[in-house]
Amino acid sequence: MTDGPHYRRLADWMFRHPIATVMSVAFTVRAVVALVLNVTNTWSLAPDAHQYLALAEAVSAGRLDSFWPGYGPSLYNSTRVFSGQVVFLFDLFGPYRISAQLVAVFY
């Protein structure tokens, strides 16, 4: 492996921006894990992710009031900051698990 100018520039940038380097590496690893989990259809990034996915799908479909009566609307209102973003992505792209996982990966 050569130690050319490209590697030196990358190393210099990494040493000048350590927080951005750590953030980039963490984001990349989490995104790869999320993509692998979606391709293999094994599990989500969080144990309770199925609740948030079902909740976002119900809100997107307009059936929040009939979804888990009492608990569904309460859960949505208490997690609106995260769930609202997932609902927006579900409305935009459809109810795909990767939408919610990429929001979690970003955070």
The pLDDT of residue 35 is 86
Which stretches in the chain have pLDDT values below 50? none
Residue 65 DSSP class: T
The pLDDT of residue 92 is 93
Q: What is the residue range of 87's domain?
A: 5-106
Number of structural domains the chain divides into: 1
The Cα 26–Cα 37 span in angstroms is 16
The pLDDT of residue 3 is 62
The pLDDT of residue 20 is 93
The pLDDT of residue 58 is 92
The pLDDT of residue 25 is 93
Q: What is the pTM of this model?
A: 0.69
The pLDDT of residue 44 is 67
The Cα 50–Cα 30 span in angstroms is 18
Total residues found in the chain within this entry: 107
Q: Are 75 and 68 in contact (CB under 8 A)?
A: yes
